[in-house]
Amino acid sequence: MQFRLIAFLLLFYIFSGVILEYFQSNDSVSFKDIQEQIIINENELNVFEKESLDDINVTEKRVKAWIVIIKYNETNEKIIKSTLEKSGYNIKHDTKKMFFSLGPFADVSHANNEVKKLKKIHSINSKIVDFVF
C-alpha cells in the first residue's frame, strides 16, 4: 500500500510541471490566428480550369522502333523462310524489295541481340533499320 502511494506521488511530481503549464497557459491560439498562417496560392487552386491546347508544346511526337531486315535472292528464299519459321520467328515478307523483316523491337539492343543470334546460329546476314511512327 505504501509503495503504491509513493509511486503515485512520484508520478504526480514528475508530471506536475506539464499539468500546471497546461492549465496556466495564457497563450491562447485562436482560430483567426491559424487562418492567417495558412497561405493560399490561387494558381494551385485553379487546376480544373480549361485552358487552350495551343500553348502546349510536344517535344517528341513520334516513337522510334527497330526492325531486322534479311535480304535474299531467288535461290535462298525458301531456305531462309523455312529456317526462320522453324526457329519461331514471326516474319513479314516483302516480295517487291526481296527481304524478310523481324520485329518491331522497342529497344535497339534487343534488335542487335536478334541479329547476333541469326548470324551465330543460322549464319544468316541481316541488318537493323530504324523507323519512326
Which residues have CB under 8 Å from 133's CB, separation 6+?
Answer: 62, 63, 65
The pLDDT, as a whole number, for residue 67 is 93
The pLDDT, as a whole number, for residue 15 is 78
Give this prediction's pTM.
0.52
pLDDT tens string 45-80 = 666 667 777 777 777 667 889 999 999 998 999 999
Q: Is the Cα torsion angle 122, 123, 127, 128 positive or negative in sign?
A: positive
The pLDDT, as a whole number, for residue 34 is 63
Collapsing DSSP to helix, strand or coil, 133 comes out as coil
